[in-house]
Amino acid sequence: MSYPIDTTRPAPPAAGEPGYRPDSQSRFRTCPVTSRRIHAQAEAAVKVNAVTAIVFLLVGTIAAVLIVLTRWQAVHLLSATWFYRLLGVHAMSMLIFFIIFFEMAVLHFASTVLIDARNSAPKTSWVAYGLMLGGALLVESMMWGGKADVLFTSYVPLRADPLYYLGVIFFAVGALIVTGVFFANLVVAKRERTYEGSLPLVVYGAATAAIIAVITLLHGAAIYIPTFLWSLGLMKVDPEVYRMVWWGLGHSSQQINVAAMVAIWYMLGALTIGAVVLNEKISRSAFVLYILFISMASAHHLLVDPGLGPAWKVVNTSYFMYMAVLASMIHGFTVPAGMELGMRLRGYTNGLFGWLRKAPWGDPGFSSLVLSVVVFGFVGGITGVTIGTEQINIIVHNTLRVPGHFHATVVSGTAMAFMGATYYLIPLIFQKRVAFWRAAKLQPYLFAGGMFIFTVSMTFAGNFGVPRRHWDITFSQAPYSVPFNPIVDLLLAFVALGGLLAATGAFIFVGIAVKSVFFGQALGPVTRGVAMVGVPQGITHPPVHAADVDQRNAELHDASRGIMGPAPGTIVLVLIFLAVFALYFFSNWKILSFLWRIG
Please report the pLDDT score of residue 98 as a whole number.
95
Please report the pLDDT score of residue 499 as a whole number.
96
Confirm if 165 and 224 have CB atoms less than 8 A apart.
yes
pLDDT band at 6 (very low <50, low <70, confident <90, very high): low
Residues 259-263, mean pLDDT to the nearest whole number: 95
DSSP 8-class letter at 530: S
Confirm if 435 and 534 have CB atoms less than 8 A apart.
yes
Q: Is the pLDDT score of 26 beyond 60?
A: no
Question: Sign of the CA dihedral 346, 349, 353, 354?
Answer: negative
Please report the pLDDT score of residue 8 as a whole number.
45
H, E, C per residue of 389-413:
CHHHHHHHCCECHHHHHHHHHHHHH
DSSP 342-370: HHHHTT--STTTHHHHTS-TT-HHHHHHH
Please report the pLDDT score of residue 13 as a whole number.
52
Question: Sign of the CA dihedral 517, 521, 525, 529?
Answer: negative
Alpha-carbon distance of 208 to 284, in angstroms, equals 9
pLDDT band at 546 (very low <50, low <70, confident <90, very high): confident
**Mean of per-residue pLDDT scores for the chain:** 90
* Whole-Å CA distances, 446 to 28, 364, 479: 38, 11, 43
Cis previous bond, 157, omega within 30: yes
Q: Exposure string (b/e) for 33-46, b if CB count within 10 Å is 16 or more?
A: bbebbbbebbbbbb
pLDDT band at 177 (very low <50, low <70, confident <90, very high): very high
**What's the CA dihedral at 470, 472, 478, 481 to 10 degrees?**
100
Instruction: Give me the amino acid identity at 131.
Output: L
Q: For 531-544, what is each residue's pLDDT tens digit?
A: 999 999 999 999 98
Instruction: Give me the amino acid identity at 134.
Output: G
Residues 6+ apart with CB under 8 A from 568: 352, 561
Alpha-carbon distance of 19 to 37, in angstroms, equals 17
H-type alpha helices, 18-119:
40-71, 80-91, 99-110
Alpha-carbon distance of 39 to 120, in angstroms, equals 10
Task: Give me Rg for the CA atoms of the chain.
Answer: 24
Q: What domains sit in the chain, N to C, each tagged with a CATH number? A: 29-592 (1.20.210.10)
Q: Can you tell me whether residue 541 is helix, strand or coil? A: coil
* Whole-Å CA distances, 113 to 45, 47, 116, 244, 503: 11, 13, 5, 38, 32
Of the two residues 65 and 347, the one the predictor is more confident about is 65
3-state helix, strand, coil in the chain (%, to 5): 70, 0, 30
- By percentage, how much of the chain surpasses pLDDT 90? 69
Residues 6+ apart with CB under 8 A from 438: none
pLDDT band at 1 (very low <50, low <70, confident <90, very high): low
Q: Exposure string (b/e) for 478-510, b if CB count within 10 Å is 16 or more?
A: eeeeeebeeebeebbebbbbbbbbbbbbbbbbe
Question: Sign of the CA dihedral 151, 157, 160, 164?
Answer: positive
Confirm if 88 and 150 have CB atoms less than 8 A apart.
yes
Question: How many Cβ atoms sit within 10 Å of the Cβ of residue 530?
Answer: 10
Q: For 341-353, what is each residue's pLDDT tens digit?
A: 999 999 898 999 9
Among 29-33, 119-123, 424-428, which stretch is predicted with the lowest mean pLDDT?
29-33
